[in-house]
Amino acid sequence: MSRWQWNPVPLRQPHPPSFLSDLPWPQRIAEVLRYGLLAFEYSLSPGGGLRAWLKLNMAVAVFLGIPALLVVPVITVLFAAVSTWTALLLQIVLNLLYAALALMALVFVLLFVTRLLFARR
């Protein structure tokens, strides 16, 4: 039987322990709470469907959750690095563009000045 199959097992009807009055009060409280929870579960699903559903969902959550907890931080760091590098590359391109524009402006100013100087002669 595979762990991933739906396999409800019928529950036995809970009974309060017969030795309840012999227990000290902290253990008696624990036993009463245990009996109450078991009785509540039995009243919700005596066929065991609720317990099987919870087991299946917990197995799927662990199966998906552990890789997610291991992979998501790595992906987050990679995305942060890519974001940083993209910002740096954008700044480099802007600096090169500003340098090219300044150089073009300087060339045009020099051409204009040389034409003015040679046009007067």
pLDDT along the chain (121 residues), means of 10: 73 89 92 94 91 90 92 95 97 98 97 87 63
Is 15 inside any structural domain? no
pLDDT at 17: 85
pLDDT at 64: 92
Is 58 inside any structural domain? yes
CA-to-CA dists, residue 120 to 22, 66, 116, 117, angstroms = 121, 82, 6, 6
| Total domains in the fold of the chain | 1
pLDDT at 4: 65
Its domain, for residue 88, covers: 20-120
Is 12 inside any structural domain? no
Q: Phi first, then psi: what are they for 26, rounded to 5°?
A: -65, -40
Is 43 inside any structural domain? yes
Please check whether residue 68 is in contact with residue 12, taking contact to mean a CB–CB distance below 8 angstroms. Answer: no
pLDDT at 3: 63
Please check whether residue 5 is in contact with residue 52, taking contact to mean a CB–CB distance below 8 angstroms. Answer: no
pLDDT at 8: 87
